[in-house]
């Protein structure tokens, strides 16, 4: 592909017609000085590439890139030249997208579209241009291609690209195995109580509200990286919400339903079972947004059931939502409302889990899409077992009515942080009315909940808070057990006017943030008492063993 001429490779469709991308770029307003500079740099680099390939017997030195790191690329003059040319053209296209005139959102959208096209057009993604795949096909006498075709047919049948060998995992058998029992269920969720692992437990029970756009067992993958098991090991009597995977008959379910009939119900049932007036509570991602909204509703009713509140990678201030902002404007939200929302002519519909999963995968296409296209189909390799990627592929639906409310009132209009701007369950929402002390955790490399956006929650709460920043991304940063002694986290008790100011004076600590959170939580969990010997209560008897039926339902 030449960024100033005809494309060398044909990229597949990415939900839009990208064949005219270069033409569109040429029609956008780019300052002449920047255009001339980029053109000059391109021609100079292209000439150097051509001359170096002629002078080295056709071989070129490739820039560092995982896609072209195998010796087959550098040893094959044609493949190496194709890869080097691609990388030059890709860099030039991205430079052009960076200097397009327009507002920040338009520029971000252009950059995202160009990046998608660039990543899809890599020569490594195509059998005829990939020397690694061709060599393997010859060595295996075509067996790798046969195996790749079988993988492709299997993925077409299941509706998504396999990122791991899903046949090796089963929920309840080798993921989500912490012992417990379902003690309550309704049409929206099951409430799981976990078996104590200590002789004594803290007086105040713990309630987890995970995200409803994924399944709760991200917090209980394996015994050695389970947030749930770790919490129980620290002496907490733990209850966890397991969301139902919505079916079509739930399309009209609203945000208010998720608050009143799910979170508020989970709080009241936990109180009834344990006899505790206040609970320690934790919300993860959108689960934290839902939990905070629920506590604000209760605060408006004069109730304050939270002894403490922990929010992991949670947005409450949606003024800066990172890469996800490019998908949200009045037109796109209105389109959703007219197709799957309450205003849809045919009635509300569903946001399909596969659509959500695909969107999140294409936020990191080389790592989560094209890497597996090459390995699974071109090389015929079965991806290695990885519990996190198995969870990532186990997607969930969302009711259209609930999703559209969330999209408009948070991502588009950013009203949740404004006291009294929203009415939920008949109450005006004021997050500042929540009286519980708050532990705020963010991940520094999070592309879904940018850490500096999560930091803005410190301006919302009026109660004492502790903000902690972990290394890595949205999931890996959270699921970071102390025993593995990986990564680090930053702490800073001093108030700061901005996220950058906070980080400038923060102290880096080795290992996992879990230990810091456990020490903080112990200060709000009350005294110790004998652990219960059975699940539930006389009124709420055990229904079935954890992890329950709801989490096993597929989309």
Q: What is the pLDDT of residues 467-499, one digit of tens each?
A: 999 999 999 999 999 999 999 999 999 999 999
544-545 and 507-510: which strand pairing?
unpaired
Q: What is the mean pLDDT of residues 293-322?
A: 97
Asked if residue 5 has pLDDT above 60, the reply is no
Does residue 325 contact residue 105 with C-beta atoms inside 8 Å? yes
> What confidence score (pLDDT) does residue 11 get?
32
CA dihedral 297, 303, 305, 307 (to 10 degrees): 100
**For residue 262, how many other CB atoms are within 10 A of its CB?**
23
Give the tokens for residue 98: 């960076």
DSSP code string of 166-178:
GGG--BTTTBS-S
CA–CA separation, 164 vs 176, rounded Å? 17
Nearest CA to 28 among 122, 114, 88?
114
Does residue 396 contact residue 152 with C-beta atoms inside 8 Å? no
Name the pLDDT band for 58 (thresholds 50, 70, 90).
low
Does residue 100 contact residue 107 with C-beta atoms inside 8 Å? yes
CA–CA separation, 216 vs 242, rounded Å? 6
Q: Give the torsion sign (CA, 534, 536, 539, 542).
A: negative
Asked if residue 416 has pLDDT above 80, the reply is yes
CA–CA separation, 155 vs 116, rounded Å? 21
Q: Which helix (H) or strand (E) holds 183?
A: strand 180-185
Q: What is the mean pLDDT of residues 85-113?
A: 91
**Would you identify the CATH topology of the domain 180-322+399-552?**
Rossmann fold (3.40.50)
Percent of all residues in the chain with a pLDDT value above 90, rounded to a whole number:
84
203: CB partners within 8 A, 6+ apart: 276, 525, 526, 527, 528, 529
User: Which pairs with CB-CB distance under 8 Å and at least 24 residues apart come from 139-142?
Assistant: 140/380
Q: Where are the domains of the chain?
A: 21-139, 180-322+399-552
**Bridge partners for 530 per DSSP:** 200
> What confidence score (pLDDT) does residue 217 get?
97
- Mean per-residue pLDDT over the chain, rounded: 92
Percent of all residues in the chain with a pLDDT value above 70, rounded to a whole number:
95
Name the pLDDT band for 390 (thresholds 50, 70, 90).
very high
Q: What is the mean pLDDT of residues 286-306?
A: 98
Does residue 11 contact residue 117 with C-beta atoms inside 8 Å? yes
Strand-by-strand arrangement of the 189-194 sheet: 507-510, 488-491, 465-470, 438-443, 306-312, 279-284, 206-209, 238-243, 189-194, 180-185, 544-545
Give the tokens for residue 442: 């963010």
Nearest CA to 163 among 433, 375, 401?
375
More confident call, 3 vs 312? 312
> What confidence score (pLDDT) does residue 356 get?
85
Name the E strands within 218-305: 238-243, 279-284
Local structure of residue 434 (DSSP, 8 states): -
**Bridge partners for 488 per DSSP:** 510
CA–CA separation, 338 vs 165, rounded Å? 38
> What confidence score (pLDDT) does residue 159 get?
85
Asked if residue 501 has pLDDT above 80, the reply is yes
Name the pLDDT band for 399 (thresholds 50, 70, 90).
very high
Give the tokens for residue 85: 């040319």
Name the E strands within 360-510: 398-399, 423-424, 427-428, 438-443, 465-470, 488-491, 507-510
Cα 161-167-173 angle, rounded to 5 deg: 130
Does residue 209 contact residue 246 with C-beta atoms inside 8 Å? no
- What is the per-residue pLDDT across 28-57, written as a single tens digit (0 to 9) for each? 788 999 999 999 999 999 998 888 887 766
Asked if residue 542 has pLDDT above 50, the reply is yes
Name the pLDDT band for 8 (thresholds 50, 70, 90).
very low
Name the pLDDT band for 438 (thresholds 50, 70, 90).
very high
- What is the per-residue pLDDT across 209-245, written as a single tens digit (0 to 9) for each? 999 999 999 999 999 999 999 999 999 999 999 999 9
Nearest CA to 396 among 188, 220, 221?
188
Classified as helix, coil or strand, 59 is coil
Q: Determine the distance from the C-alpha atom of residue 207 to the mean position of all C-alpha atoms in its chain, rounded to a whole number.
A: 22
Lowest mean pLDDT among 12-16, 301-305, 383-387: 12-16
Asked if residue 24 has pLDDT above 80, the reply is no
Cis peptide before 547 (omega within 30 of 0): yes
Q: Determine the distance from the C-alpha atom of residue 415 to the mean position of all C-alpha atoms in its chain, rounded to a whole number.
A: 22
> What confidence score (pLDDT) does residue 57 get?
67
**For residue 357, how many other CB atoms are within 10 A of its CB?**
23
Active site residue 212: no
- What is the per-residue pLDDT across 107-156, written as a single tens digit (0 to 9) for each? 899 999 999 999 999 999 999 999 999 999 999 999 999 999 999 999 99
> What confidence score (pLDDT) does residue 9 get?
26
């Amino acid at each position: 592909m030449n960024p100033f001429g005809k494309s060398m490779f044909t990229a597949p469709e990415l939900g839009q017609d990208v064949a005219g991308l270069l033409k569109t770029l040429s029609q956008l307003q780019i300052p002449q000085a920047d255009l001339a500079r980029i053109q000059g740099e391109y021609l100079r680099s292209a000439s150097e590439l051509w001359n170096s390939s002629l002078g080295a017997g056709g071989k070129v030195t490739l820039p560092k890139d995982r896609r072209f790191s195998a010796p087959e690329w550098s040893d094959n003059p044609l493949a190496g030249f194709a890869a080097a040319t691609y990388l030059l053209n890709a860099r030039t296209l991205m430079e052009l997208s960076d200097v397009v005139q327009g507002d920040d959102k338009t520029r971000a959208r252009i950059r995202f579209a160009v990046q998608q096209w660039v990543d899809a057009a890599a020569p490594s993604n195509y059998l005829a241009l990939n020397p690694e795949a061709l060599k393997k096909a010859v060595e295996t006498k075509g067996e790798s291609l046969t195996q790749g075709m079988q993988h492709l047919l299997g993925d077409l049948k299941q509706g998504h690209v396999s990122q791991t060998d899903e046949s090796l995992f089963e929920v309840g058998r080798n993921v989500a195995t912490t012992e417990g029992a379902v003690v309550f269920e309704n049409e929206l969720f099951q409430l799981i109580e976990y078996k104590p692992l200590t002789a004594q437990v803290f007086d105040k029970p713990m309630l987890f509200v995970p995200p409803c756009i994924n399944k709760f067992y991200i917090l209980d993958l394996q015994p050695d990286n389970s947030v749930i098991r770790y919490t129980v090991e620290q002496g907490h009597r733990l209850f966890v919400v397991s969301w139902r995977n919505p079916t079509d008959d739930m399309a009209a379910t609203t945000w208010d339903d998720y608050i009143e009939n799910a979170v508020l119900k989970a709080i009241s049932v936990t109180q009834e079972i344990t006899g505790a007036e206040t609970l320690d509570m934790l919300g993860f991602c959108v689960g934290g947004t839902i939990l905070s909204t629920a506590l604000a509703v209760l605060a408006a009713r004069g109730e304050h059931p939270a002894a403490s509140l922990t929010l992991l990678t949670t947005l409450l201030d949606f003024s800066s939502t990172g890469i996800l902002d490019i998908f949200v404007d009045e037109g796109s939200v209105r389109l959703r409302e007219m197709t799957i929302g309450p205003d849809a002519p045919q009635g509300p519909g569903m946001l399909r889990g596969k659509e959500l999963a695909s969107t999140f995968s294409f936020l990191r296409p080389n790592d989560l899409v094209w890497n597996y296209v090459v390995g699974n189909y071109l090389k015929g390799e079965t991806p290695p077992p990885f519990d996190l990627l198995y969870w990532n592929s186990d997607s969930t639906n969302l009711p259209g009515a609930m999703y559209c409310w969330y999209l408009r009132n948070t991502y588009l209009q950013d009203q949740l942080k404004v006291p009294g701007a929203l009415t939920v369950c008949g109450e005006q929402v004021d997050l500042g009315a929540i009286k519980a002390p708050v532990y705020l955790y963010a991940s520094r490399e999070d592309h879904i909940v940018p850490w500096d956006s999560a930091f803005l929650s410190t301006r919302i709460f009026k109660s004492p808070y502790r903000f902690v920043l972990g290394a890595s991304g949205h999931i890996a940063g959270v699921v970071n057990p102390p025993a593995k002694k990986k990564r680090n986290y930053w702490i800073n008790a001093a108030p700061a006017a901005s996220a950058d100011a906070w980080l400038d004076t923060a102290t880096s600590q080795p290992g996992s943030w879990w230990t810091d959170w456990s020490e903080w939580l112990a200060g709000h969990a009350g005294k110790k008492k004998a652990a219960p010997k059975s699940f539930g209560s006389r009124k709420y008897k055990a229904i079935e063993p954890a992890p329950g039926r709801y989490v096993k339902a597929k989309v």
